[in-house]
Amino acid sequence: MKWIHQSQDLDGRLMRFLLLPLLLLLLTAPALAQMKFVLQYQDQFGKWHRYQEKHNEGDAYRTAKARAAATGKRFRIVDGDGNLLDLVSP
């Protein structure tokens, strides 16, 4: 008498069935855990508009600083929840 786990064909399918969701979860977890930095600029009426989104805080600050100098507009960096992190004036 063979037990269900002793069958090679079923054992391979069972392993793939169990390992595939685990592998997909491990591959997507770091991407979901990254912090978002949203760059916004202020128009002449004082309204903030979304410019760009980055995942590296240093790069977000350098971009905001360069764009503020190039355009003469104020830029701010907010996190994914909308909390103010930095304000860059030209």
Phi-psi bin for 72: left (phi > 0), alpha (psi -120 to 50), beta? left
pLDDT in tens, 25-63: 777 666 566 899 999 999 999 999 999 999 999 999 999
pLDDT at 27: 72
- The pTM is what? 0.64
- CA-to-CA distance for 43 and 70, rounded, in angstroms? 14
pLDDT in tens, 64-88: 999 999 999 999 999 999 999 999 9
Percent helix, strand, coil in the chain (nearest 5)? 50, 25, 25
